[in-house]
Amino acid sequence: MTIKRQYSLPNCTLILEGLSDGTSTTGQPDPRPIMSIVVNAECHFVGQRQPLTGGRDFLESLVSGVSNYAQEFLSTVPHPVASGNQPALLHLQPFPGKNRHRLIVQPNLVNSVGTGSSTGQTAVVSQPIHFDLTTVQLFDLVEAVDQFLADSRTLPDLTLKLKPVSKRDLTTREPVAKRAAPAALGVTSLAVAAIAFSLIPIPKVEPPKDTAPNAKAQATPSTTPTSSTTPTPSTTPTPNPTGTPTSTADLEALVASVPEITRPSQLYFLQRKIYNQIDLQWENRRELNRSLIYRLGVGKDGAILAYKPVNTAAGDRIDETPLPKLLYTPTNSEGAIAERIALFKVVFTDKGELQVSPWLGYTSKPSLGKQITDADQLKSLQQQLDDKIRPKWQGLPNSTRNLVYRVAVDKDGVFSDYEPQNQSAFDYLRKTPLPELFKNSNSKVDVEEPLAHFKVVLKPSGVMEISRW
């Protein structure tokens, strides 16, 4: 039997057709059969009449090509691809014009290209073809690829291997003339400033009058050197590489000073936690006319430690996002110590949608991480969760579909995580008690601590069902 999987976004749809090798799904939380063989892959873009179709090679090239270009586009750092003297089978490149990107596919990689006629005919490709995409279409394509990679029931053997750009590439890819320009401009500016200041008469300096009778006695003697001690200027700042940053400029220093969280299960937990925090606080969503992109540094407890605008609009309109008020502020003068951090890309789209993903993606398909398995403890935590949700759920008179969620609590019963499991659950999330429970918990659950996961079904009639995940 042919298996069909579809990953749909507003401007892009990825459709996969394949077969299963008969792997059993008994006892699995997801009853869908595993697609282990892909027969056909189609990529459709809104506004483009010609869908791309191909096989396994096309799909793998699409995944790697799109992911590499997206990283390069967002970080503005070129990502070298080792391809020898042969052109890449599928690659993207900036296209002249604002917010345009060209997707180029070699003819031996695709089976056919739809003609867009009413008969649905296809034409064999003999020359490289290209699609001109907008930035919104590019982001939807990236999201469709991310959804496919996160689907554990579709081609589980296909993973995306990403690695950071080496420092050698970071320095050598910037032209010498460009690197030397700031120094040359600085020398020129200094010379002009010296000439200008030489024409200004030297002002007369009068000694200040004491405003307090004991001013001399109150002066700090630590700045006066003596013959027995070495003077230490009091204005010299003391670096604190492990202190929690409180401004956007500290993100790079933070990245260089502490280890990075890269385990997929931990990144997946923090991704949902950051999404839920920001989603609850983001207001005035329809007032953006451009997408705002940021790079976030997040602690292992989910606290936002620092952020950095990626595009110009993000820097200009930071106050229209909830990031400034969600930025963690230390409660003491020394600041908290950031043991480890995770880096995320956060996009506030011009359509009012929030997108959160690991900065470098996942090295493998994530799991739910460590879980509480003790039967007695799970029974107690389930009852605590039931007592929190049931009194607050009043039902949805205008709906006919159940809302299904995965909800997690820590060992103390603190509401730590929630995730919609069907479209209705996503659409009516704000009409449920879950966001408010998450907000009121002020949960700072450690990413490495085990959680208890439960399936919560909220019925329109006001009935609630809860069971172990």
Q: Tell me the per-residue pLDDT of 360-396, one tens digit each, with 9 for 90 and over.
A: 888 787 777 788 888 998 999 999 888 888 888 888 8
State residue 443's pLDDT score: 59
Lowest mean pLDDT among 62-71, 211-220, 371-380, 439-448: 211-220
Q: Are 415 and 437 in contact (CB under 8 A)?
A: yes
Q: Are 240 and 335 in contact (CB under 8 A)?
A: yes
State residue 79's pLDDT score: 58
| Averaged pLDDT of the chain | 74
Nearest-Å Rg of the Cα atoms of the chain is 28
Main-chain phi, psi angles of 295, to 5 degrees: -110, 125
State the pLDDT confidence band at 204, using cuts at 50, 70 and 90: low
Residue 243 has pLDDT above 70, yes or no: no
Q: What is the pTM of this model?
A: 0.45
Structure tokens at 413: 């019963």
State residue 152's pLDDT score: 85
Q: Are 404 and 425 in contact (CB under 8 A)?
A: yes
Q: Count, in order, helices (H) and strands (E) of the chain.
A: 12, 17
More confident residue, 77 or 207: 77
State residue 211's pLDDT score: 44
Mean pLDDT of 293-315: 86
Distance CA 227, CA 232 (A): 13
Domain boundaries, the chain: 2-21+33-108+126-150, 248-358, 375-468
Find the length of the chain: 469
- What homologous superfamily does CATH list for 2-21+33-108+126-150? Transcriptional Coactivator Pc4; Chain A (2.30.31.10)
Query: Nearest CA to 305 among 323, 325, 328, 326?
Result: 328
Residue 327 has pLDDT above 50, yes or no: yes
State residue 76's pLDDT score: 65
State residue 97's pLDDT score: 63
- What confidence tens digit (pLDDT) does each residue in 100-146 have? 888 888 876 666 554 443 344 445 556 778 888 888 888 889 999 98
Q: Are 451 and 408 in contact (CB under 8 A)?
A: yes
Residue 250 has pLDDT above 50, yes or no: yes
Strands (E), 176-291: none
Distance CA 303, CA 301 (A): 6
Residue 202 has pLDDT above 80, yes or no: no
Contacts of 235 by beta carbon, 8 Å cutoff, 6+ apart: none
Mean pLDDT of 36-40: 88
Distance CA 12, CA 58 (A): 17
Query: Nearest CA to 3 among 153, 159, 156, 112?
Result: 153
**What is the arrangement of strands in the sheet containing 100-105, beginning at the earlier edge strand?**
90-94, 100-105, 129-134
Return the bridge partners of 277, or none.
none
State residue 368's pLDDT score: 79
Amino acid at 411: K
Structure tokens at 15: 């459709």
Distance CA 175, CA 188 (A): 20
434-441 helix and 375-389 helix, angle to the nearest 10 degrees: 110
